Amino acid sequence: RLLLDAYGYGGDRGGFAAAVPQRARRQADVIRHLADAGDAAATALLPIAALLERSATDVEALPAAFWTR
């Protein structure tokens, strides 16, 4: 919400409620996929993948009112 406010976003913010966790989970999946393929950098980022998953869950738990101005 702060990021949207800082950029003066005036559009419908409701879409972010779904887009933010979706993007976080997609990035976590990419990290895990690369780690499974043996990429050393991605393996080092596995703790970040777990944080992304947890953040996605936290964002999904926010009330709808969070996304309104």
Q: Which of 32, 52, 53 is nearest to 42 (CA)?
A: 32
Note the pTM of the prediction, 2 decimals: 0.84
Residues 6 or more apart in contact with residue 21 via CB below 8 angstroms: 55, 56, 57, 59, 60
Domain range list for the chain: 2-67
pLDDT at residue 61, as a whole number: 96
pLDDT of residue 58 exceeding 90, the answer is yes
**DSSP 8-state symbol, 8:** T
CA-CA distance, 39 to 34, in Å (whole number)? 5
Q: What is the pLDDT of residues 10-53, one digit of tens each?
A: 888 888 999 999 999 999 999 999 999 999 999 999 999 999 99
